């Protein structure tokens, strides 16, 4: 079963468009072979989007459309198959002439594809418009593609996956295991070796039992709950080998100071969430609260000085 949803967001600036394109192609969320472009070069999508707008003198207003196609965790479908379904979905007349960057994300317990559509059609110069009928046609065709592959199609309320917010609230929502998953995922890309990873996890309040004579890594949460790395999803991204490979990539791509700065920023954001009374309901799950694009927005605001006295907090260990 696949659910198609349009994501409302701050989509009226070039900066927001650049951020969402970076978000969907983030290597921590997907793989190179699961990223593609329709009517555009995925490696140059942002520039092509901007050039199309300038060619037609339509640089104001809505800059992009963001939609997702999500599959239930119990659907027996592979990332490769989800990518093929996305390829076929874009063949609809609905998308003709539009430049689209898209990527299958594998970082959640359900596979899903993000599509970012340029708001200006590269062939006609017309801006994106969607009628209720076109939206229903899109959902119907998505169902048809799933049905053709033997995937489950659900329309009733019971077991319905359409309310993604309810699903995430129930299966992920504010859970210690999901918070642990986010911590490991982020520290995986902020560490340069095993020792660095363990130290960073400890700064977030987690203990890490990583022994060479044991197959699995055991994490202990700040509240004392234990979980092995094989319980994190997808498990192949959190094996010892996968983590060590990520550390090597980090050493190649970023200097020690850059990694440290990223880590300090995350710790500062965690501190803000935990100390802000407005976030009382999620203060035990700061990374969940800062997940995804919200994290980027929070970082941008904090860099401007909003909500945090950087001079006061400089050098603080959390």
Is the residue at 255 inside a domain?
yes
Name which of 205-219, 250-264, 267-281 the model is least confident about: 267-281
41, 185: one domain: no
129 and 200 both lie in a single domain: no
pLDDT score of 301: 54
Domain of 159, CATH number, reads: 3.30.930.30
Percentage of the chain with pLDDT > 90? 50
140 and 248 part of one domain: no
* Tens-digit pLDDT profile for residues 138-171: 988 998 898 888 776 544 333 344 333 333 433 4
Of 116, 144, 167, the residue that ends a domain is 167
* Residue where one domain finishes, among candidates 142, 167, 192: 167
Is residue 189 included in any domain, yes or no? Answer: yes
- How many structural domains are present in the chain? 2
Asked which of 59-68, 206-215, 265-274 is least confident by mean pLDDT, the reply is 265-274
The reported pLDDT for the residue numbered 162 is 38
> Do 192 and 142 belong together in one domain?
no
Please compute the mean of the pLDDT values over residues 233-245 and round it to a whole number. 90
Same domain? 138 vs 217:
no
DSSP codes, the chain = -EEEEEEP---SSHHHHHHHHHHHT-TTT--GGGEEEESS-GGGHHHHHHHHHHHTT--SS--EEEEEEEE-TTS---HHHHHHHHHHHTTSGGGTT--EEEEEE-SSSS-EEEEEEESB-TTT-PBP---HHHHHHHHHHHHHHHHHTT-----SSTT----HHHHIIIIITT-HHHHHHHHHHHHHTT-SSHHHHHHHHHHTT-EEE--TTSSS-EEE-TTS-EEEGGGSSSGGGSSHHHHHHHHHHHHHHS-HHHHHHHHHHHHHHHHHHHH-GGGGGGTT-HHHHT-THHHHHHHHHHHTTTT--HHHHTT---
Whether 53 and 202 share a structural domain: no
Q: pTM above the 0.85 mark?
A: no
191 and 252 in one domain?
A: yes
Q: Is residue 318 part of a domain?
A: no
Does 258 score more than 60 pLDDT?
yes
Q: Which of 115, 134, 167 is the last residue of a domain?
A: 167
Q: Are residues 221 and 140 in the same domain?
A: no
Q: Which of 31-40, 143-152, 224-233 has the lowest mean pLDDT?
A: 143-152
Range of the domain at 282: 176-313
For the chain, what is the mean pLDDT?
81
Per-residue pLDDT tens digits for 42-54: 999 999 999 999 9
25 and 100 in a single domain? The answer is yes
pLDDT of residue 62: 92
Q: pLDDT, tens digit, for every residue of 61-70? A: 999 999 999 9
> In this model, does residue 317 exceed pLDDT 70?
no
């Amino acid at each position: 079963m696949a659910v198609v949803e349009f994501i409302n967001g701050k989509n009226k600036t070039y900066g927001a468009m650049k951020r969402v394109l970076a978000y969907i192609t983030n290597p921590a969320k997907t793989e190179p072979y699961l990223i593609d472009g329709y009517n555009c070069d995925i490696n140059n999508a942002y520039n092509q989007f901007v050039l199309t707008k300038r060619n037609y003198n339509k640089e104001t207003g809505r800059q992009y459309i963001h939609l997702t196609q999500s599959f239930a965790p119990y659907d027996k479908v592979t990332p490769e198959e989800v990518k093929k379904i996305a390829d076929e979905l874009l063949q609809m007349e609905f998308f003709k002439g539009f430049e689209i960057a898209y990527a299958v994300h594998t970082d959640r317990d359900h596979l899903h594809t993000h599509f970012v559509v340029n708001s200006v059609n590269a062939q006609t110069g017309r801006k994106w418009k969607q009628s209720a009928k076109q939206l229903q046609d899109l959902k119907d065709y998505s169902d048809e593609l799933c049905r053709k592959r033997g995937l489950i199609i659900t329309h009733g309320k019971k077991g319905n996956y359409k309310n993604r917010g309810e699903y995430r609230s129930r299966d992920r929502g504010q859970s210690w295991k999901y918070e642990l998953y986010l911590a490991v995922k982020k520290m995986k890309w902020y560490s340069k070796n095993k020792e660095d990873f363990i130290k960073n996890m400890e700064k977030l309040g987690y203990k890490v039992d990583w022994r060479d004579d044991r197959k699995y890594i055991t994490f202990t949460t700040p509240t004392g709950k234990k979980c092995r790395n094989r319980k994190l999803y997808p498990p192949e991204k959190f094996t010892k080998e996968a983590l060590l490979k990520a550390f090597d990539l980090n050493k190649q791509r970023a200097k020690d100071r850059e990694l440290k700065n990223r880590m300090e920023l995350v710790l500062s954001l965690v501190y803000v969430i935990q100390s802000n009374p407005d976030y009382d309901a999620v203060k035990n799950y700061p990374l969940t609260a800062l997940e995804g694009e919200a994290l980027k927005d929070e970082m941008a605001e904090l860099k401007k000085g909003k909500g945090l006295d950087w001079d006061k907090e400089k050098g603080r260990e959390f």
